[in-house]
Structure 1
Amino acid sequence: MERKYIIPFALAILSAVIAGCSSKKVKEEKIKPNPLPKLAQASSLVPVFSQSVASTSQEDPLRLRMDSDNGVVFLLDPKGSVAAYQGKQRLWSQRVSKIGLSSGVAAAQGLVVVGNHKGQVFAIDQSNGQEKWLAQISGASISPALIQGNRTIVIANDGTVFAFNTETGQQVWTYKLPHAQLSLRGHAAPVALGEENVLISTSNGYVYVIDSLSGVPRMQRRVAVSEGRSDIQRLIDINSDPIVVAQYVVTTSFQGQVTVLDLASQQVVWSENVSSLSGPGVVDNKVFVATTEGELVAYDLLSGQEIWRNNQLLHRNLSNPVAFGRYLVVGDYDGVLHLFDPNSGQLLGRSKTSGDVRSLRVVDGQLFVSTRKGALTAWKTP
């Protein structure tokens, strides 16, 4: 049986740094994060919701992603519970899994879907938290599902894509993706392409388009290229969710590239060498990338030309950047949300939550923030 080796983020980064060094004992140099830049007049976001759940370990890639549907916010606790909130009022809380939860929340069509490390997938009724169906996949579920029409798409950590009937939970098809023998622990979530196609990213730098009804692959394209000498240096996982804008797909990869793929022609429009563990942001024909070193870079969507680069937040372990109101927002290891001007890259302000920011997401005009410490918050613009 083929064995796949999975390594946590922190180990991957450390290994990449020391790979190629001699066997002689060397003194490890600790890199200090940049201090918070001074702001003459700071803007800030307005908190509208806050809830604390169990924290995760430093090495665990869990993105405790919240989701919202019909004005109700759904969130999970890694210890095994799912809860629903309307405003600050808790509608219900339900213990779902005795061994904890790991996947992040997907909410649509009256369902909330979550998964755990044992490959169990739970579909819960949005109205009361009761289980509608339970399914089993071939590996840990560590990325949110996609509820798309009559299909619920889930990716196991062994690279197998599963499709279930959204109403009944019956398995409809599976598709086994080629998977790198050595990869980071984590997986990008499936992304909807229209009503009947789903975009899947892999740990070996490919993206696939699969018909969600039949499981038939429609396209595969390499979007990240490895240039390292060792196995660690050749890691090019696409661990973060791609962004789809019109006919373009934007991807980032670890030790790889930021790439824009034209779905119409199935050709790469442009690609620039940059390493990122977080997903890209796209707004007004600009692509924003937070690099593993802590730079924030803006590119033109169509040409790939660099528009601006900001290095004020070096080594602060930046999250994915998102467009929110008039700001570009990115979080860091200390729970700070940094507000940038997306046109110039100027730092305009900041807000504060608690813990290493793992995921930013804008839903229904609110910014949802998830941290490793278990702080789940929602924000609005002033």
Structure 2
Amino acid sequence: MDKKYTIPFALAILSAALIGCSGNKVKQEKIKPNPLPKLAQATSLVPVFSQSVASTSKEDPLRLQLAADQGVIFLLNPNGSVSAYKGKQRLWEKRVTKQELSSGVSAAEGVVVVGNRKGQLFALDQTTGEQKWTAQLSGALISPALIHTGRAIVVANDGTVFAYDVQTGQQAWTYKLPSVQFSLRGQAAPIVIDAGTVAIGTANGYIYAIDSLTGVPRMQRRVAVTEGRSDIQRLLDITGDPVVAGQFLVTTSFQGQVTAMDLNQQMVVWSEDASSIVGPAVYDNKVFVSKTNGTLVAYDLMSGQTLWENDQLLNRNLSNPVILGSTLVVGDLDGVLHLVDPNSGLLVGRSSTSGDVRSLRVIDGQLYVATRKGALSVWQNR
């Protein structure tokens, strides 16, 4: 098995900041997050569902993603259980493993899929919660699976992509991504390009497109570059999920760039320097990026021109941005959900949950939120 060293994001930032320092003592200045700015007329979101589960390690940025299908909400507890809710009514709860569940829950095509640190993948029946099958992979599972065209597709921490038949659990194919010696503790989940193709971002700054039914590679393109001298400075991970918007595939990378690639031409259209460990959002021909320093930036989808920047949330460990209705939403380290005007970048409102926001999703017009403290919630516009 290839030897790979994973580096917590906070450690990578600290190490990079100390590169070039000398002497026996290094004074480490604690970076303080910007205080919340005052809002003249603040709007807020309405909570429609909430549930608390076990918290996760502060140093291990696992993605406690919620899922929903056919009006049912599915959530996992890191302690090893999965549950389903219809509104506030719990339909079922099943303990699936004694090991900590480490990949966010995915639900589609009648199954619910989760994974743990030991590389075990579990598929449950959506209606009953009964286990349909399990599979042993070659590494820990730290990003959600993709359920697509009868396949459950997931990436193990050693860079191997696995695909299983969602109904039987039979392995359909595997694909080995290039290995890297150092990487951040994180992995982009597979995403859908079209009915027969999935894409995966990797720790070496590449996008790989793979046939979802056969596992045959269809494309590989570099979308991020770095000129770093040290191992830390050369980290170039794509840990946030790419986004498909029409003919474009938009990616972000740590210490790299935000990039738009034309899928028809299989070439990069534009690329702008921006370090981010979370995926972008695309709406109304604009690309929205949460940079690692807490700056929110909007780019023109066609040209890459910077449309606006907002630095009011510096050092607040921003989550991935999403679009709820016509509002841009991003979470932070204190559990604050910031509402932003996507046209101007102005903060227009906020709501609060509990704990460092780890993932945001919008499903059927509702906002799904998961935090490090285990606060899982669903929100909607007023």
TM-score (norm 1): 0.99
**For 1:93-242, what aligned pairs fall within 5 Å after superposition?**
93-242=93-242
Cα displacement (A) at 1:227:
1.4
Q: Tell me how large the CA RMSD over aligned residues is.
A: 0.8
SS at match of 1:12: helix
Partner Cα separation in structure 2 for residue 143 and residue 216 of structure 1: 22
The question of whether the paired residues in 2 share the 8 Å contact of 1:48 and 1:379 is answered with yes
The question of whether the paired residues in 2 share the 8 Å contact of 1:179 and 1:202 is answered with no
SS at match of 1:102: strand
- 1:177-203 per-position Cα deviation (integer Å, ceiling 9, x unaligned): 002110001100000122211101100
Cα displacement (A) at 1:19:
1.8
> Match of 1:250, as an amino acid?
V
Identity %: 70
> Match of 1:173, as an amino acid?
W
Q: Which residue of 1 aligns with 2:248?
A: 248
Task: List structure 1 segments (4+ residues) > 6 angstroms apart after TM superposition.
Answer: none
Cα displacement (A) at 1:326:
2.3
Q: Which residue of 2 aligns with 1:323?
A: 323
Pair 1:23–1:3, CA change in 2 (3 A): farther
Partner Cα separation in structure 2 for residue 56 and residue 165 of structure 1: 30
How many pairs does the alignment contain?
A: 382
> Match of 1:47, as an amino acid?
P
SS at match of 1:105: strand
The question of whether the paired residues in 2 share the 8 Å contact of 1:290 and 1:319 is answered with yes
Partner Cα separation in structure 1 for residue 82 and residue 10 of structure 2: 28
User: Which region of structure 1 is more displaced relative to structure 2, 165-174 or 333-342?
Assistant: 165-174
The question of whether the paired residues in 1 share the 8 Å contact of 2:207 and 2:221 is answered with yes
The question of whether the paired residues in 1 share the 8 Å contact of 2:109 and 2:150 is answered with no
Partner Cα separation in structure 2 for residue 45 and residue 367 of structure 1: 9
> Match of 2:293, as an amino acid?
E
Partner Cα separation in structure 1 for residue 4 and residue 62 of structure 2: 19
Partner Cα separation in structure 1 for residue 366 and residue 62 of structure 2: 21
> Match of 2:54, as an amino acid?
A
Q: Which residue of 2 aligns with 1:80?
A: 80
The question of whether the paired residues in 1 share the 8 Å contact of 2:2 and 2:158 is answered with no
Q: Which residue of 1 aligns with 2:345?
A: 345
Partner Cα separation in structure 1 for residue 2 and residue 49 of structure 2: 46
Partner Cα separation in structure 2 for residue 373 and residue 198 of structure 1: 32
Partner Cα separation in structure 2 for residue 362 and residue 72 of structure 1: 14
**For 1:299-338, what aligned pairs fall within 5 Å after superposition?**
299-338=299-338
- 1:343-382 per-position Cα deviation (integer Å, ceiling 9, x unaligned): 0011101000000001010001110001000000000001
Q: Please list every run of 5 or more consecutive structure 2 residues that lacks an aligned counterpart in the other structure.
A: none
Partner Cα separation in structure 1 for residue 54 and residue 190 of structure 2: 25
Q: Which residue of 1 aligns with 2:357?
A: 357
Partner Cα separation in structure 2 for residue 223 and residue 271 of structure 1: 8
Cα displacement (A) at 1:20:
2.4
Cα displacement (A) at 1:308:
0.3
Q: Which residue of 1 aligns with 2:280?
A: 280
Partner Cα separation in structure 1 for residue 172 and residue 109 of structure 2: 18
Q: Which residue of 2 aligns with 1:15?
A: 15
Partner Cα separation in structure 2 for residue 100 and residue 34 of structure 1: 33
Partner Cα separation in structure 2 for residue 242 and residue 10 of structure 1: 22
- 1:213-268 per-position Cα deviation (integer Å, ceiling 9, x unaligned): 11100000000101111100000100010001111111000110000011100110
Partner Cα separation in structure 2 for residue 345 and residue 319 of structure 1: 16
Partner Cα separation in structure 1 for residue 374 and residue 17 of structure 2: 29
Q: Which residue of 2 aligns with 1:290?
A: 290
Partner Cα separation in structure 1 for residue 149 and residue 191 of structure 2: 13
Q: Please list every run of 5 or more consecutive structure 1 residues that lacks an aligned counterpart in the other structure.
A: none
> Match of 1:278, as an amino acid?
V
TM-score (norm 2): 0.99
> Match of 2:266, as an amino acid?
Q
Partner Cα separation in structure 1 for residue 250 and residue 258 of structure 2: 7
The question of whether the paired residues in 1 share the 8 Å contact of 2:288 and 2:299 is answered with yes
Q: Which residue of 2 aligns with 1:259?
A: 259
Cα displacement (A) at 1:136:
1.0
The question of whether the paired residues in 2 share the 8 Å contact of 1:309 and 1:345 is answered with yes
Partner Cα separation in structure 1 for residue 23 and residue 120 of structure 2: 43
SS at match of 2:298: strand
Cα displacement (A) at 1:167:
1.4
